[in-house]
Amino acid sequence: MEKTIRKNATPHFIRAHMTRINMADPESIYNPQVKKKSVNLSINNDLIEKARALKINLSQTLESAFSDGLRKF
């Protein structure tokens, strides 16, 4: 059975990362007001294509995932 994906739908695991970003969070491990810096990354092309098809904001998702990972250290 093929799963239908709604256009512009964000998967639950991505939403979970995105909703963890809270600008007023006193527990934040970084300052979200600091200017962003452009960087180059190498990421699996299939992942990029699927994320773009779902209109996922890659920068926001990566920031959130990094923040979650850093909290574990």
Residue-wise pLDDT for 8-52, tens only, equals: 555 565 555 555 544 456 567 888 889 999 999 999 999 999 999
The predicted model scores a pTM of 0.57
User: What pLDDT, on the 0 to 100 scale, is given for residue 7?
Assistant: 55
User: What pLDDT, on the 0 to 100 scale, is given for residue 23?
Assistant: 46
Q: How many helices (H) and strands (E) does the chain have?
A: 3, 0
Q: CA 48, 7, 20: angle at the middle one, nearest 5?
A: 65
Q: Are residues 3 and 47 in contact, defined by beta-carbon separation less than 8 angstroms?
A: no
Q: Is a pLDDT exceeding 50 seen at residue 56?
A: yes
Q: How far is Cα 10 from Cα 40, in angstroms, rounded to an integer?
A: 24
Q: List Cβ neighbours of 55 (8 Å cut-off, separation of 6 or more).
A: 7, 8, 10
